[in-house]
A and B are shown apart, each in its own frame.
Chain A
Amino acid sequence: MASRSRLSQAQAAWLLLTPFLATYALFLVYPFFRGVWISLHDWNLLAVAFNPDAKEFVGTRNYERVMWGKDITWSLFNAPILQTLGLVGLVLSVFLRRMNRLSRFNAIALGIVSVLLVFLPGFHPGEGGRWYDRRFWPTVGNTLVFVAFAVPGVTISALLLAAALNRETRAMGALRTLFFLSQVLSVTVVTLIWQIMFSPRQGLIANITETLGGTPINWLTDQQFAMAAIVIATVWWSLGIAMILFLAGLQDISKDIYEAAALDNARGWKAFWFITLPNLTRTISVVVILQIILHFQVFGQAHLMTQGGPNDSTQVLVRYIYQTGFRDSELGRASAMAVFLFLIMGSFSIIQFVIGREKG
């Protein structure tokens, strides 16, 4: 034993850390800074590939061209609904905090979201002005709409299923498997299935509608339904992991509480509402934030099912980045958008981290 050279604790630690630090530095840290650097250049994908000097430093112009416009002004009632909602939220957060109905963290979170709601939608082009890139903010909006429907859709159905299936029997196990099954399909299989499902001529949904005497909906080419179609396919696809996480959370709730509650006649829905939900708040917030991060990066569904259409109504941020970079060859602009994506994702991650710290 003694003859063997022995690593000190620190040496062993660094040795074991090396694989991670190396991949991390090479494939995440470096690319990230490189991305920021690219975003400060006029950088044509093909031109730079053929001539490395073909890029030109342009400072923040890419950001300006993507996110700003000519004669942009701010006013309070540009988007009345959103901004009013924001004002209400702001008042609520102060009021509820005063009344001690909200924790400090939640009050601050609600407050920040509200301020952003009042502030951001207030920007608009003034007289004779315009956004330099008319598609960027609508694209961000579409992504938010997708997230706003997909995340609650997945979370609520996964939660209900988990609560119903939280029993150790053979039948329940089989049903759990069944609901998880679609999660293992690749995104292209999912879009393949749902593209045909939604087809107004060949689709199963249309066939059934017609048999019942209705007129089939043009799901993927009707602006009212295209986003809904993508959300439906997404919920179908990605419910599994959320359900499993909820099942895990449910098992941490002690059986005694339910038994005690049953004595007070709290069963079924009542038990779900008064016991399951309050005991599951942390799991719910983890699931919600993981889903937000996941779905904010949606690409395949929109790219394959609707190609961003009709009329750009399902154009999402990552698809716009991909198009700007690889169809239009404008890596500089695309990288500026990617940095924006990072900022949004980063703020969600911080929230997730803080929630984990506060309650975990």
Chain B
Amino acid sequence: MKYVLLGAAMAAGVATMAPAQEITLGRFFGACEDAGTDTTTSDGEACIIQSIINAADAELDGISINTLPTDWGNYYDQVKAAYAGGTPPDVHVMHRHRVPEFAGLGALAEISGELEGAGIDASDWSPAALDAVSYNGGIYGVPMDFHANLWHVNMDLMEEAGLVMDGKPVLPTSPDELLAHAQQFKDATGQDYLAADFAQFPIGVRVVLALMWQQDANIFTDDGTATINNEAGQNAVTAITQLFDAGLANPQLNYADSQQAFLNGEAGILVNGTWVVDFYTAEAAKEEVGLDNYYVADFPTLFETGATWADSHMWAIPSSLEGEQRAAALKVLAFINDHNIDWARTGHMSVRTSVVESAEYQALPHRDEYTGTAAIARDTPPSARYGAIQDVLNRELQAIWLTDKPVETALADAEIEVQDLLDR
């Protein structure tokens, strides 16, 4: 009897000790330590993604996921360091704009032949999503979203300023109108018309890029010529600086401060991404938050063509991953792909046609208010030096609005430096 019990105990031990495949997972989005495993109720980017990861950890048999903590600022530096050190995470998130750099060096696994086996239906991805993860004809990841710059609107303030019609905000259609609205807004409410992070994180760069694209211009051409110091560039910059010069917006706010200003009801419009829609919706519902009547609008067209900055988050696995580890990593990708609707709750746009067409997706808060964004989403031409180019632009634009560097000098300097980067 004793032996039977012992044998049973040992058998049970063996069963539960089945070798779990440990998958390391790298991501940004911030930390959420108490996310739980319920993917349908979590709030905010960090907690939603972590709840999906936790659920995968719990539900996928024989796979345990170890989430690497990575902050935003050092994310790509650290991922690079990990790749170069030969210990990349088994699964990691990245932006589409980094694909040329990582896939170009052969760091990422080409997975087009393995998607179906892993239960990922690539034909459900929208064409733009497939394009986002493709490089030289191969597929290098599983897309998770499109995210873009939106105008987040405080409707109470806009109403006060007389800038609401039929329950929708009246947004400018030209730089002149932008200034006029901002002045009208200031006169009526005493507050700033527009806030955004112009001082640290490159939201300001993305605004200027959008305004350049709206004039059918770009910062560099596909063949690698920088085209920044031109009329389009100057128009785009002055459309923003006129607000600063007139004291209708504050260029010195960083990300947290500009967001706080908007939530406190001290700014009519906040330019920020899709990733905060659910967060602001939740905040607006709170009694004590200054923002009560929240609305989301597409980035308005101030010039000829509609355009707003956009990018994609996607999940990739390193090319060095093989065998069971690779199969397990693909299962994790499939799990994330299956929970695309949960991720869309953040406010991001879904990459899966079946999700976009679902009633659940369309019923998400404010979703119907920015349906135009998908059509106007843009980004710069692919480049392995995307990060450094953004940095140049961010510095020179900051020099314009924070230190009164003449627009033309700053744009000329930016053009030289971007050209240097493209030539390297």
Contacts and interface: CB of A to CB of B under 8 A. Distances in A.
Establish whether A and B are touching in the complex (CB under 8 Å): yes
Interface of A: 44-50, 130, 132, 134, 199-202, 218, 220-223, 303, 306-307, 309-312, 322, 326-329
Contacts of A222: 252, 402
Contacts of A306: 200
Interface in B228-279: 252-254, 256-257, 260-261
B81 A50 contact: no
B388 A327 contact: yes
Contacts of A310: 199-200, 398, 402-403
B259 to A, nearest CB: 10
Which of the listed residues A132, A220, A329 has the most CB atoms from chain B within 10 Å of its own CB? A329
Contacts of A201: 256-257, 260-261
B200 A309 contact: yes
B83 A49 contact: yes
Interface of B is mostly: helix
Contact of A130 (B106, B260, B416): B416
10 contacts: A46-B107, A49-B86, A130-B416, A200-B253, A200-B257, A201-B260, A310-B200, A311-B399, A326-B80, A328-B388
Nearest to B387: A327
B5 interface: no
Contacts of A328: 385, 387-388
Contacts of A134: 413, 416-417
B257 A199 contact: yes
Contacts of B261: 201
A326 B395 contact: no
Interface residues of B, number: 38
Given A311-B405, A327-B388, 7 more contacts: A45-B80, A49-B85, A221-B252, A221-B402, A223-B402, A327-B77, A328-B388
A326 B81 contact: yes
A322 B80 CA distance: 12
Contacts of A309: 199-200, 394-395, 398
B252 A218 contact: yes
A327 B84 contact: no
B91 to A, nearest CB: 19
Contact of A329 (B80, B260, B395): B80
Contacts of B135: none
Interface in B181-219: 199-200
A44 B261 CA distance: 42
B294 interface: no
B17 interface: no
Among B83, B253, B254, residue most surrounded by chain A Cβ atoms (within 10 Å): B254
Contacts of B254: 220-221
B199 A221 contact: yes
B395 A312 contact: yes
Nearest to A44: B105
Contact of A50 (B106, B200, B388, B395): B106
Nearest to A313: B403
Contact of A311 (B77, B256, B387, B395): B395
A-B residue pairs, 4 tightest by C-beta: A221-B199, A49-B84, A218-B252, A326-B77
B76 interface: yes
Contacts of B323: none
A218 B388 contact: no
B199 A200 contact: no
B113 interface: no
A221 B83 contact: no
A24 B420 CA distance: 39
Contacts of A322: 77
Given A134-B417, A307-B73, A307-B200, A46 B252 contact: no
